C-alpha cells in the first residue's frame, strides 16, 4: 500500500506563508503544520499571528511569527534571509497577503488602488525576488500564489482587486517559465468566496450585513456552500507536495463551481 505521508514528502519542510495571521493564510498555516511542516507566519498583525502560532504549537506543530510588511523590500529580504539562515533552506513560499477594496474605477481613491496593488501584487514580486535565490541554491522549491476567481474573470465594484489578482496569475505564469530550469514549481490557486474576515469586510464595504442570508447568497454555486479556508489549504498542500512535481505555471480554481 502507498504511504501517503512519504508520497507527499512534506514532513520536516519549511514554509513561509504571508498574510497568515487570519483567513485563508491562517488555514494554510494550520493545515501545513498539522502535516509536519515548520511554518513561518509573515504578517503585520502581531496579535492575530501570535494566536495562530499558539494554536499550532498547542496542537503539537511547529510555527513562528516574523513581522513583515510585505510591501517593503527591506522587510521581505530580511524575512527570507532570516528563515534561510535558521532553517538552512526555504522549501515553500505561499503568497497569501491581499487587500480588497470594493469600488468602481470612478469611486476608487488612489490610496486604495495603491494599497490593493502593493499588498496583493507587489508583495508577490518582492517575496519571490528574495526567496527564489535561496531556493535556487538549495536545488529547487515550491511557490504558490493565492489568486482569485477574479484572476480569471471580472467582478463588480472590484476594479483594483481584479487588477491585482489578474496580475498575480499572469506573473505566476511568467515566473514559472523563468524558474522551471531551477526546479522551482510556481502555481496559482484561485479561490472563490471563502468564509473569512476579508469576505465579511467586502460585504460591509458594499453596505451589506454579513449574516446567514448573505452567506446563503454566496453559496449559490454548483457545490451549494460557502468555501472554508481548509478547502484552499488542501489544494495548496497538493501543489507544494511531492505529488505535483510536473505541475507549474498552472491555476487551480477552488470555488465550488462558481465560475464553471
- Angle, CA of 88, 94 and 99, to the nearest 5°: 135
Q: What are 90-138's pLDDT values in tens digits?
A: 999 999 999 999 999 999 999 999 999 999 999 999 999 999 999 999 9
210 is catalytic: no
| CA pseudo-torsion sign 230, 120, 44, 115 | negative
**C-beta separation of 191 from 165 below 8 A:** no
pLDDT at 240: 98
What is the CATH topology of the domain spanning 12-192+230-254? Rossmann fold (3.40.50)
Cell matching residue 15? 514554509
Helix 123-138 with 159-179: angle, nearest 10 deg: 20
As averages over each run of 10 residues, the pLDDT of the chain (260 residues) reads: 87 98 98 98 98 98 98 98 98 98 97 98 98 98 98 96 98 98 98 96 95 94 97 98 98 97
C-alpha–C-alpha distance, residues 145 and 168, integer Å = 7
Closest CA to 191 of 154, 161, 221, 235: 235
Where are the chain's structural domains?
A: 12-192+230-254
- Would you state the pLDDT for residue 5? 83
Amino acid at each position: 500500500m502507498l504511504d501517503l505521508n512519504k508520497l507527499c514528502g512534506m514532513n520536516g519542510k519549511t514554509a513561509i506563508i504571508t498574510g497568515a495571521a487570519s483567513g485563508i493564510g491562517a488555514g494554510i498555516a494550520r493545515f501545513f503544520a498539522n502535516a509536519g511542516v515548520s511554518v513561518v507566519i509573515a504578517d503585520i498583525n502581531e496579535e492575530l499571528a501570535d494566536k495562530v502560532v499558539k494554536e499550532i504549537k498547542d496542537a503539537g506543530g511547529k510555527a513562528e511569527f516574523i513581522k513583515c510588511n510585505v510591501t517593503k523590500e527591506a522587510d521581505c529580504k530580511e524575512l527570507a534571509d532570516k528563515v534561510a539562515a535558521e532553517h538552512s533552506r526555504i522549501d515553500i513560499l505561499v503568497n497569501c497577503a491581499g487587500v480588497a477594496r470594493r469600488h468602481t474605477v470612478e469611486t476608487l481613491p488612489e490610496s486604495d488602488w495603491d494599497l490593493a496593488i502593493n499588498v496583493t501584487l507587489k508583495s508577490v514580486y518582492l517575496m519571490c525576488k528574495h526567496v527564489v535565490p535561496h531556493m535556487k541554491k538549495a536545488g529547487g522549491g515550491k511557490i504558490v500564489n493565492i489568486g482569485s476567481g477574479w484572476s480569471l474573470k471580472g467582478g463588480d465594484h472590484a476594479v483594483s482587486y481584479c487588477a491585482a489578482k489578474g496580475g498575480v496569475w499572469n506573473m505566476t505564469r511568467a515566473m514559472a517559465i523563468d524558474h522551471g530550469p531551477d526546479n522551482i514549481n510556481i502555481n496559482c490557486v484561485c479561490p472563490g468566496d471563502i468564509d473569512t474576515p476579508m469576505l465579511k469586510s467586502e460585504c460591509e464595504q458594499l453596505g451589506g450585513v454579513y449574516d446567514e442570508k448573505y452567506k446563503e447568497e454566496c453559496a449559490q454555486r454548483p457545490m451549494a456552500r460557502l468555501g472554508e479556508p481548509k478547502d484552499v489549504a488542501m489544494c495548496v498542500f497538493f501543489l507544494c507536495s511531492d505529488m505535483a512535481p510536473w505541475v507549474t505555471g498552472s491555476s487551480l480554481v477552488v470555488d465550488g463551481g462558481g465560475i464553471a
